[in-house]
Structure 1
């Protein structure tokens, strides 16, 4: 089954000194807010082996509360960044000042994070303001936020269920069906094809179509599902089965599936 894309994107306006970044995450806003504001959580996702690692995060998550993160770069050099929470609305909005020790300007910028519920998860939008006159720092932070939001999305997104492949045979009510179906049966076949085409677009169906068996044509499809129960539910929802005209499915789990996308 398809999952929500969690590719983070950031745009840095070097003239205005503003960064806007966004990512859609298949997780509730409460879970994302927890990952952003809990020290043990932050240490689990903020960083990577080829960039840097956050080694300590502390914060009093309330307006006026202070926060600080310490870390170490891939070169072994330590760093820190900290600030103050200006606005805190759990699972909805977080505004904080941002002052890193690696910035020679020694100035404070502001990060605003908003969490909006969408179908299937949450849209996170981030604004980082205060880089006017410093385009290099603005661009660097923009690239950094893309990485950070990607790490966050990967951390809180639940793993996709394991997929199995199934070979399914749709057997018609009679061997001569392909040659002597009536108008109503042809309409059923139209809706059947539309249903399987929809599954194809969702990535559930891999391939489907009729088979010219000398003993009588039948339909075949290869599908992805999380298990036999889901596969049978998909077959039961097929308009051919729902028509009550004598169609039936044979569902056979594949021991192994090797294919080329």
Structure 2
């Protein structure tokens, strides 16, 4: 059982390592979604080292908290978080996206401990998380469910069906986090299908809604670790695509771009 809650400073250091390691993986294999990895690093570091109750030695422990990575393309940051949390050794990260690797381009719970759901097609992870949270409520369990979606992913209609079901069933054990970096593959979300006012939409669906700086571990820790109410909770985390690398920040092309050797050297220096 996790009992060593990290400080905000320790979480920030974990996130820094995760960004650097994800950058190495994407550059080394020439594949990945580094922009979204970088935007979500502080969120995952806060969850795994400050919020979630889990035991990497017992990945199937029934009373563990669940985390579902609905934006399943962001495996660089998910795998580095699981590695840092103790689910497997760092050497396994070297096999990222290699033929036959357990570290697929999208997470697969049949291959890797700590992965709660197979995700990749956008709009699937959030409904799965609702089902997991509903099962916990029916069991009378205190276990919690957290799910991270991209903001472009919010354009999928399945998310809004899930939001209605969660509110209708009073799933106070469920927390949705939206990685609100305002960019999706190829364009800003506002140019594809505008989302705002996203907070008012979730509030109208019956959710408790909060906005937070998605790159402030102290703010994330305070919000994600706060006691719940009688409603599901939506956290809109304002983030920057490509966070931490100057030439990647706020550019849609880095949704799945791969840095050249020269760019990689610059990125690693900036992420140090």
Question: Which structure features the higher share of helix residues?
Answer: 2
Query: Max radius of gyration: which structure?
Result: 1
Question: Which structure features the higher share of strand residues?
Answer: 1
The TM-score, its normalising length taken from structure 2, stands at 0.23
The TM-score, its normalising length taken from structure 1, stands at 0.23
